[in-house]
Structure 1
Amino acid sequence: MAASNTDDALETPSPPPLPLVPSLSYDVALNCIARVSRFDHPNLSLVSKSVRSVLASSELYVTRSFLGFSEHFIYVSFRLPPGPCSRWFTLRRKTHRTLPTATNSNRTGFLLVPIPSPPSPPPVGSAYVVVGSEIYVIGGCTGDVPSSSVWVLDCRFHTWRRAPNMRVAREFAAAGVVDGKLYVIGGCVVDNWARSVNWAEVFDPKSQTWEPVPSPDVEVREKWMHASAVMEGKVYAMADRKGVVYEPKEGRWDVPEKRLDLGWRGRACVIENVLFCYDYVGKIRGYDPKGRVWRELKGVEGLPKFLCGATMANCGGKLAVLWEGKKGSGGSGKTEIRCAEIAVERRGEGEIWGTLLWSDVVLTVPNASAIVSCVAVNV
């Protein structure tokens, strides 16, 4: 009997995938590629279509994580003129390194390169936190109207998506991640029962749901929070008057010691349970919650005083500082954005020392620009 031309017809087998590396099996080749630094992926993508496809796959990042070859990358957002224009950048190594010349003073080979920005108008006063390989941009204010929206940047592929909205709209809220869950505190006026119940809430990325965090004993219910951090599994939320500390494991609220707020305004980061920030005279200091004392970071006297326009992040255990440098005069109208990487360590009787690894200009922007956020992501 002749073979059927319909259901019984033999399917034409699909061609086997092109090999990633000749003479190597797919799994072995994938393991080799996963060990290549992400800084070198632009060059590696030129090898072949099959390699380029793997570099853009989630399978590669699962393998990198399993092998322990993930890396930390700096992500920065700027507010650029004219108008409320927001642009996102990531710190990358230059593809082709060049020696410094009279017109090229960047000696380290690191530059901030643009990546896609969120599709919606940029809000003012958003909170920024990192969950895994993603950055959450929480709330903010657009046209004097607070927002409950949440945008997520997947740093593996530089794509944006919407996450479920918060239960209430917020601006200048405090936020922190403990055990994979995202806690948001304040940023809303407690003028009715619904906002009072939801003054703090928590987001579970696994279930994609927001739930209220009971806060019956909290005396400070400020609208705006000027700083937040996570230390020893606790979320610190600092307001203009006092502040609050929330410990998720115990479900307990507390008031931080007064000394914690001295010189700490906003842009800070935590490395090995030491809070680093720049104080009111522009020096970098570290706060140890156990000793309850601020200490100056020694060994970095060559850095400028960060009176404004600076921020910092924990980049794989090293302190990354980003600041607005020299402003252009005359018709140039450009500001240098500088970055420094500092290795920090404790010495002697609680002293904190830093070793400057590198410092250089990584971007130039119009004079009226401002750094909005700076975070480090493990990818």
Structure 2
Amino acid sequence: FYIGNEEDAAEKIDPAALGLLEEEYEKFKDVDSRSLLKKYLTQEIFDSVKRRVTSKGATLHDCIKSGLANPDSHIGLYAPDAESYSMFHELFDPVIDEYHGGFGPDDSHPATDFGDPSHLGDLNELGNYVLSTRVRCARSVEGFPFNPLLTSDQYAELEQDVGYTLGTLEDDLAGNYRSLDEIGPEEQEELLQKHLLFKQGDRFLEAAGASRFWPEGRGIFLNENSTLVVWVNEEDHLRIISMQEGGNMGEVYDRFVRAVTALGEKLPFSSSGHLGFLSFCPTNLGTAIRASVHIRLPLLGSDRQKLEDTAAKYNLQVRGTSGEHSEAEDYVFDISNRRRLGISEIEALQEMYDGVMEIIRLERSLEEGGTESRKGPSQ
């Protein structure tokens, strides 16, 4: 945690930057917001951390500026570098504790345990509800700050290092890496429609400073059949994604585990014993894994509260198919695990698998109930 005194810290922060931070915080106190930033950035906490600066130059303002600009944020807080989690721990700790369902400052994240992917089966064994399945994780490379603090030269260096490492993947993982500026607009749009590519324009990331120098240092890796995708310098240094049509979670997870393991043997991923793998957003700590399905639920989708309540029992999150702030189209939902911190990789996957199976069983029961009611009373 932060070591030093206020006098030392005051010598580090630029007086003009401190003045702007204090001015913006005064305005934010009067803003109507339900974000966790608003809830936990009290005057006392603000005064205790406002002068601190990490060794890579991150200030409190760098952490909170997206939440200040977007009061409708759920979190409103990002870490511009790995050190921010300890330097500004008085603010990050309660946010992490609440989001991850009870993970205190003295807790430790368990060691990596991918388990046996074959123990996860096909989610469509009861019917073709799941349209596609993916497992992805965020990873950051040690020695580099996160996106808001990367210089143009660091973007280029990081892209080169990661691109070279991706080129060492073998067999079904092997593929090609291309920088964004090598991909034409039409192909980019095609990849976006297939959910294979990221794009600029997310206002939360823009406000956090994560889109500077676009499209420098950014690109995408695809294996031969586009079932392994790696995004470079989108929100995090790497987003490693295993995906395919249908609901075979075992196959998707097995490919994911092999890819993450192979890349981790060559790239030093940033991590800590307390928070696990470290990433830009505090929602993606610990395993940093998000396992999700696109699933069509016409009946449960008509009763969104019942769907949300069922998902909550298994710590699952329900979103639209285009991301966190999108709507569901044609009753197709994106359902994923919410818990990433304080549990192992296989535990996160099993919880998600069990929850989706329960949601499918509930959808089936509603279908059967509807069938019985259409038959009318027995003669």
One fold, TM greater than 0.5? no
Give the structure with the larger strand fraction. Answer: 1
- Larger relative contact order, structure 1 or 2 (CA cutoff 8 Å, min sep 6): 2
User: Counting helix residues as a fraction of each chain, which structure ranks higher?
Assistant: 2
Please give the range of the TM-score, normalised by the shorter of the 2 chains.
under 0.3
How does the TM-score come out when normalised to structure 2? 0.24
